[in-house]
A and B are shown apart, each in its own frame.
Chain A
């Protein structure tokens, strides 16, 4: 929990306070940024860019908004802005056709057992656009309309991306589960 005193010191541009704040928020910021950017260096760059926005806009923060929530929002916006300004954005992945359905119950069961980091790594296998939409919709709670506006796509496309990301993840989890079963049987 970030204290108001620390925020006040950061407003005065005290380097120590800035470092302390950075340290406190690092986990939160990095978890957001790595969800949106699979390249870790780019994620760190985005995080630092976002943190700079946090520092320069401390005066504009409304006190009724929880600080962490505000920081999180800034991080998401920063990552989305970075993505939008990227020239490679046009080179989006094509919409793939349906993927073989895996038994959802088993997948869920396996996912429940999975480590968070392992699942985060699985997320890297999801195509870029779908991963972003999945993050925005599933984790950050944006509506399809909002996502459409943020990323310049339609709400229907957003829905497709969520479904696509979900299928990719489920397939990956199913494969992992299958390997585990095979390993167990082999042993």
Chain B
């Protein structure tokens, strides 16, 4: 063993004592390597630029999708205006005429109905006063499918009945508002082929503004003509359901006044299918002759109905009999308290209703969230001499909090925030000793017992010499080599249980995907983070294995990159505020120590409670 130690020591000295001459060729090779490294560094930058470009592209794409979704939502929510569409696809005389300037189509058109139907207003007053609200309070575009609300040119039987009713009450005019069940939507056929200009009688303008309708768009083509229900020229009406709702003739109108059965137009506004304004009906009032121009039936009933738009040849010559009676005229008539005859003025445009203030102030899509909770952090050390102690690292719970501002689209959101994150670990470090074995050689005298023969005499016997001797027992000391070894144990590092904490303020780029179901919303949120070192506490064993170094003396990076991800379930308890429970994960992407061989990375898993506020 001694010789081996000596050999090793000599070998070490020999190998370390070598002197190798410098050769220029080595440096030449080194220069080539340096150049290659420089160009490679450019390549790294290029790759980084590509990554950043890709990330920017993805971000732009995400924002684009989000904007698109957001825009679609707005489009959906926009109030639309539509008017009655009279369809008669089979009857060429009464073509369907959709509104100009509007993209909305009645559902009748969508259904491809082959009937000539007139969708009457259901509750115009309600429709106008509430803006886009239907009588049931629902948004008009969500109402059930359109029904044929009236058949202006209803069957003779029903018309006669109406006439009788009207006659009974001495009404000067009437509006025929009938509603047929939706099941008759397609079976009701109106053949207004006999409608001619000369039989077109003007309807009495509406006195009530509520009965008029401002479609908000050009009404050209939105013709709902008046048809005089002259028995001789009564259009042939074939109704699928003879049992139409009972007509109510409370003085002025013949209408299906059962609001429950009435259906708002699919466009949300009760359209002026027939508008026959009527003076207050009374039995004492003048009959229709008082209004000599008022078209009347032979029974003296002024009938204003709606029909499809006239053809040019059929259009009344009266230039004032435009389908869209000017509002001013209507107003003047109202002021005069007279009922002026008007040809084709059943579609009276009321003044545009004043803008209605929204009942609920729309909220900004920006959502501000604060959260706090606990995260169980796990720190991993590697490199240097960490193998000596990194097996005894325990996870620790730490408090985490933050604030986030996210632009929430329909399903996608993007935003940022400020997270305060702490990564902690408990390390149990065992003591470390150094054992030094010192070997020393020494010489010593070793006593050896021996027998020495002394020649004491010489005797000649027969020519031969005989030696006489004497044995003497004695002890001699022999020089011997001994080995002395000394084993010294030096304590290099004490055992220690240390809890380390490193805190960061992290700025995340948050991408959010969520689904909203009533008051509940679920979602995923996460993204990369940039962490700024704010504090550190604790210590780690030295890299040389002797003692400890406090974390403040460790070369921590001031800026670290990480990631965060969280799932959330939130409950909105009013329009603005919501609370949520959010499982959370976060971690660091790279080594957080700046130099040396020791590497440190941390991750954390936990949950937080959040409180979110949707900004105004």
Contact = CB atoms under 8 A, between A and B. Distances in A.
Contact of A104 (B4, B29, B387): B4
A52 B34 contact: yes
Contacts of B8: 138, 166
Given A31-B20, A104-B4, A47 B26 contact: yes
Contacts of A139: 11-12, 15-16
Contact of B29 (A34, A44, A116, A134): A44
Interface string A9-32: 000000000110011001100110
Q: Which 4 pairs between the two chains have the least Cβ-Cβ distance? A: A104-B3, A60-B595, A119-B14, A30-B20
A75 interface: no
A48 B32 CA distance: 10
B538 to A, nearest CB: 18
A62 interface: yes
B20 A114 contact: no
B11 A52 contact: no
Contacts of B387: 149
A119 B11 contact: yes
A88 interface: no
Interface in B1-41: 3-4, 6-8, 10-12, 14-23, 26-27, 29-30, 33-34, 37
Contact of B27 (A19, A27, A135): A19
A35 B594 contact: no
A112 interface: yes
A23 B27 contact: yes
A56 B34 CA distance: 10
Q: Which of B6, B21, B30, B387 has the most CB of A within 10 A?
A: B30
A135 B3 CA distance: 18
A118 to B, nearest CB: 8
A138 B4 CA distance: 11
A22 B555 contact: no
Given A35-B15, A104-B4, A48 B10 contact: no
Nearest to A44: B26
Nearest to A31: B18
B9 to A, nearest CB: 9
Nearest to A165: B11
Interface in A101-135: 104-105, 107-108, 111-112, 114, 116-117, 119-120, 123, 134-135
A81 interface: no
A49 interface: yes
A16 to B, nearest CB: 12
Interface string A132-171: 0011001100000000010000000000000000100110
A7 interface: no
A61 B12 CA distance: 27
Contacts of A30: 20, 26
Interface residues of B, number: 30
Given A26-B22, A60-B595, A120-B15, A48 B4 contact: no
Given A62-B555, A166-B4, A31 B34 contact: no
A104 to B, nearest CB: 3
A35 to B, nearest CB: 6
A108 B3 contact: yes
9 contacts: A31-B18, A48-B33, A57-B595, A104-B4, A107-B3, A108-B3, A111-B14, A138-B12, A139-B11
Contacts of A119: 11, 14-15
Contacts of B482: none
A114 B14 contact: yes
Given A45-B29, A48-B30, A62 B596 contact: yes
Given A47-B26, A52-B33, 11 more contacts: A26-B22, A26-B26, A27-B20, A31-B15, A60-B555, A60-B596, A107-B3, A107-B7, A108-B3, A138-B11, A169-B7
A108 B14 CA distance: 12
Contacts of B16: 31, 139
Contact of B15 (A52, A57, A105, A116): A116
Interface string B91-103: 0000000000000
Contact of B7 (A27, A61, A170): A170
Nearest to B30: A48
Contacts of A112: 10
A120 B14 contact: yes
A153 to B, nearest CB: 16
Given A59-B595, A60-B594, A62-B595, A108 B7 contact: yes
B27 A22 contact: yes
B37 A135 contact: no
A61 B29 contact: no
Contact of B3 (A61, A105, A117): A105
Contacts of B11: 111, 119, 134, 138-139, 166, 169
A86 B8 CA distance: 28
A34 B7 CA distance: 20
A170 B594 CA distance: 45
Given A104-B4, A166-B7, A48 B26 contact: yes
B494 to A, nearest CB: 21
A18 B37 CA distance: 14
Contacts of B34: 18, 52, 55
A107 B10 CA distance: 11
Nearest to B555: A62
B26 A27 contact: no
B137 to A, nearest CB: 70
B18 A116 contact: yes
Nearest to A61: B595
